[in-house]
Chain A
């Protein structure tokens, strides 16, 4: 069996203030691209937040790259964080920095030994691949939702993480942008060993790039498998999320 990059081990976590709980036992293999789909309040964002170590489960544990977030000592936390790129629903670009400086920030902070020229080349390369080069000097408030989101994805990939967690990466993106982002992620995966877990709110061409789909409803895994294999087994109401 291949090495697991993310493991949800008998995880139970409350969803918001209600009685619903996300309950799952899931294993995502290293290098796999898994998308989690389903209606609103199904627990998709919570799944990403659990994997990112932002939420501690009530029961069970979440292991990312072999590390249990709740047990990682503070001194080692930074090194684990650098191996996991995360883009949440809100892109979180720093509002007092231009897009270029936002994408540059992880390199400036963590790769101090890298020359300025190399850092600039790396950032511009990322921005060009995502069609954001012309926006490099804009501040986050001057970007639309899709541009900000792609900027956040570029920033998350700057340190070449082993795991990428995306919460609704195609929100605010037009059809061309979605295809562009899909091509970008596929190209990145072709050249780097990257495990991707993405929460998707609605069906989009982005779903064609995934290896495996996890269908969630009210905190439960309704189906788990390739797109073709689960098409037959899930209720028709959920079919629209994978088509």
Chain B
């Protein structure tokens, strides 16, 4: 039993170290860009932002809007019973901006782009495209990993902030229609509840989740060796590990704030 736990702990540590190495290498490639291949790398980055960020806007809008509506509907019906009807704005800040916004955005990004990255890189490994790139003198870390990681981090950050805004707007729609709270009162309630720390924490989570998801998905995609049956296996692992890591980061970022 102890041996098993020890072996798992070592494997987990090695896994996190490998992810940290991927992230560190991507940061190095970003801040010390080589002379060669800037244009090509930038093209890959733009494609990643387009796919992860821009193409995800419709689904993010729908989910954020619905979530805002659900939360304010629940809060609007429950809080007045406790004599706390004025806390609707505070509820949406606490639940959406602090917690659900970054987490649900991470789920959207993992489901759409994380799985796509893991599958794409897995297929590239099977068809030996990754080896072909190496043989052409094109570094995988610069041409494949870094643009995907940067694209995902930027997209996650922007999508998280966009999600928060749309969810608050969805909340306002319910507040206005069902609870007859006027816009200025709702806005004042939200702004009063919102602190700089909330926005900062949201941004930190967006950055953390983006880096973690990108690193996990690139790692598992490139872990595929020679068989196409490995691709769905690694993609599943990438998605599950991404979710777990996002929750772990969330706990690490959030809990110290309330201690």
A residues with CB within 8 A of B: 52, 54, 77-79, 81-82, 84, 86, 88, 90-96, 105-106, 108-110, 112, 152, 155
Q: Judging by beta carbons under 8 Å apart, are B35 and A112 in contact?
A: yes
Q: Judging by beta carbons under 8 Å apart, are A81 and B137 in contact?
A: yes
Q: Judging by beta carbons under 8 Å apart, are B128 and A109 in contact?
A: no
Partner of B127, one of A54, A92, A106: A92
Partner of A109, one of B37, B120, B123: B37
Q: Judging by beta carbons under 8 Å apart, are A95 and B129 in contact?
A: yes
Given contact pairs A78-B137, A82-B137, A110-B137, A88 touches B132 in the complex (Cβ within 8 A): yes
12 sample A-B contacts, Cβ–Cβ < 8 Å, listed by A number: A54-B131, A88-B131, A88-B135, A90-B128, A93-B129, A94-B129, A95-B129, A96-B120, A106-B136, A110-B37, A112-B35, A112-B37
CA distance A93 to B120 in the complex (A): 14
Q: Judging by beta carbons under 8 Å apart, are A95 and B40 in contact?
A: no
CA distance A77 to B131 in the complex (A): 14
14 further contact pairs, Cβ within 8 A, besides A90-B127, A105-B40 = A88-B135, A90-B128, A92-B127, A92-B128, A92-B129, A92-B132, A92-B133, A92-B135, A95-B124, A105-B136, A109-B138, A110-B37, A110-B137, A112-B38
Chain B's closest residue to A94 (CB) is B129
Given contact pairs A88-B128, A90-B127, A95-B127, A109 touches B36 in the complex (Cβ within 8 A): yes
Which residues of the partner chain A approach B143 to less than 8 Å between Cβ atoms? 109
B39 in the interface (beta carbon within 8 A)? yes
Whole-angstrom distance between the Cβ of B3 and the nearest chain A Cβ = 28
Chain B's closest residue to A104 (CB) is B40
Partner of B136, one of A79, A81, A96, A112: A81
Q: Judging by beta carbons under 8 Å apart, are A108 and B129 in contact?
A: no
Partner of A112, one of B39, B120, B127, B128: B39
Whole-angstrom distance between the Cβ of B258 and the nearest chain A Cβ = 45
Which residues of the partner chain B approach A82 to less than 8 Å between Cβ atoms? 137
CA distance A90 to B120 in the complex (A): 17
Q: Judging by beta carbons under 8 Å apart, are B135 and A81 in contact?
A: yes
Max chain A C-beta neighbours (<10 A), residue from B38, B120, B135 = B135
Which residues of the partner chain B approach A152 to less than 8 Å between Cβ atoms? 132
List 8 tightest A-B contacts by C-beta distance, closest first.
A92-B132, A81-B137, A109-B37, A90-B128, A86-B135, A92-B128, A78-B137, A82-B137
Q: Judging by beta carbons under 8 Å apart, are A52 and B128 in contact?
A: no
Which residues of the partner chain A approach B136 to less than 8 Å between Cβ atoms? 81, 105-106, 109, 155
Which residues of the partner chain A approach B134 to less than 8 Å between Cβ atoms? 81
Whole-angstrom distance between the Cβ of A191 and the nearest chain B Cβ = 22
Q: Judging by beta carbons under 8 Å apart, are B36 and A112 in contact?
A: yes
CA distance A90 to B132 in the complex (A): 9
CA distance A88 to B138 in the complex (A): 16
Chain B's closest residue to A86 (CB) is B135
